Amino acid sequence: MVLSKYTKIYPSAEGADSRILYSTKNAATIIVPSGMIDDIEKGGLSEEEKETLVGLGFLVENPDQEKREMLGFISELNALNKSLRYVVVLNLDCNLGCKYCFEGVRKGKFYLTDEVEARFVDFVKRSDLSNKKDLQITFYGGEPLLSMERIISISKKVRTFAESKGIQYGFSLVTNGTRLKPEVVRRLTPLGLKSAKVTLDGPKRVHDAFRPFRYGSGSFDIIVRNIEEVCDSVRIQVGGNYTRGNYREFPLLVDYLMDRGLTPGKIPMIKFDPVVNESSEFALPDFHDGCDSTEEPWLVEATILLREEVLKRGYRQPKIMPSPCVMALDDSLIVNYDGTLYKCPGMIGRKECCIGDVASSANNSRGSHGLDDWKNEDCLACSYLPLCFGGCKYSKLVRDGNMRGVNCKKKYFDGTLEGLVAQDVRYDL
Amino acid sequence: MKREIVIVKKGVDKKVMAAGMCCHGAMLPLIFEPVIFETM
């Protein structure tokens, strides 16, 4: 028996005599006496200890076999996935003028039409629902609530179809929150609205500078008021996009939300992510403050600090565990307003990333998108593989102009994972 | 003397992993819980 390749050993807060063992392949986490680590290598474990560690995935009989199993990890998750998921880009229009919008110059008065809606609904009806329990749509934009009647029309049709097949239908919104009024939630909930992700980029001063209305005034107060008015009726996740220059101010937002009564009981999760630069082809010309790579050192501090600030105020954070990228899921597609199909929302409008059209079908993208490029000896030997699987193809495309090869996150995890796992232990995630 | 293994977390079932997906822009902590349909 040997230690699994996908085990990380970190110091424990309980003292020098103990260590945290964390499995990147299943997120199992244990605290053991330091001497036990030596005994794993020397073969000095008791049968009981051995049995426990094998059961949790920390000990394996055959490291080569473990590597072979890792090759099939994503396929296994796909086989277990009971959801058919679509992200539908309803329009590329928006009432805000965010300084860093990644859709950049792709934006405009482009809306999903009746004709595309009919083709999309037919496409859904042709999809393979064997083994599926639910059909999920994320309505996206632009700003999806500029297409309110389209959401209603699509949901009525898709819901009727799903129910006729004995599966559940539900949808969510990724919205800027300015139009998320109680009346909107009242109309959409009976049709399957489950949740809405709303963006607040830090405290009012920062948010209003980054996410003003197109005519110039700030959007912060309206969004917070809307959240207050709807959060008892629909699940709200607050997201926020930070830059190197403003991330330290984001905890002020969390304090402000708490002061307004938007406590963890009202909005369970707040999650902050960095703004990612777009390629010059699509980027807004005056914004260059996003990040290009996980290797930027400030991201290590920002990631751990912001997660800590959110957790210590009682809000939830996603656990650190393997979870497939949207691109790796066979049964997940992005539908652009014109009916073209993609694997990632960041790729809409890029001809080289288009994999089909709702009028016909989706092509297999594994080869063209390099989704198996992590299947090499270096990646298989990396303890972070189950948390990475080749990294973000979108950011690789933006940075390098292609999706071939991997977007290695080793440096990032070297800097962050110990702190993130310690948080998971401390906050019992 | 018997040594204690403190199990903080037993490990996540692959069915749970399969229900999640990474959000656009979340290129960092790649993990994204099934935010939208957790209850489904």
**pLDDT the model gives residue B16:** 82
- Between positions 1 and 40 of B, the ones with CB within 8 A of A are 2-12, 14-33, 35-37, 39-40
- Give the three-state DSSP class for A378: helix
Query: For residues B15 and A69, which has the higher predicted lDDT (pLDDT)?
Result: A69
Please check whether residue B29 lies inside any domain of the structure. Answer: yes
Average pLDDT over residues A279-307: 82
List Cβ neighbours of A63 (8 Å cut-off, separation of 6 or more).
Answer: A2, A4, A5
Q: How many CB pairs under 8 A join A and B?
A: 162
Q: What is the average pLDDT across A270-296?
A: 79
Query: Which domains does chain A carry?
Result: 2-62 (no CATH), 81-312 (3.20.20.70)
In a domain, B4, yes or no: no
Distances in Å between the Cα of A247 and the Cα atoms of A166, A169, A241, A336 are 45, 37, 9, 31
Give the mean pLDDT of chain A. 93
Residue B40 has a pLDDT of 27
pTM to 2 decimal places: 0.92
Number of domains in chain B: 1
Location of structure tokens 């977390």: B9
Instruction: Tell whether B2 is covered by a domain.
Output: no
ipTM: 0.85
Terminal C-alpha separation, chain B:
47
* pLDDT in the model for residue B27: 36
Flag whether B19 is in a domain: yes
Mean pLDDT of all residues in B8-21? 84
pLDDT at A248: 97
Q: What digits encode the pLDDT tens for the residues A319-372?
A: 888 877 888 889 999 999 999 999 988 888 899 999 999 999 899 988 999 999
Q: What is the DSSP letter of A405?
A: S
Share of chain A above pLDDT 90, in %: 76
Q: Which pLDDT score is estimated for B34?
A: 36
Distance CA A348, CA A151 (A): 20
Q: Which of A388, A391, A392, A387 is CA-nearest to residue A421? A: A387
Chain A nearest CA to B33, separation (Å) = 6
Is B7 contained in some domain?
no
Candidate from A26, A77, A194 with C-beta closest to B36: A194
**A142 cis-preceded (ω within 30 degrees of 0):** yes
Quote the pLDDT of residue A321. Answer: 87
Residue A316 gets which letter from DSSP? B
Domain that holds residue B25: 12-40
Q: Where are the beta strands (DSSP E) in A208-311?
A: 235-242, 269-274
Contact A335, A349 (CB under 8 A): no
Which residue of chain A has the CA closest to B10?
A: A28
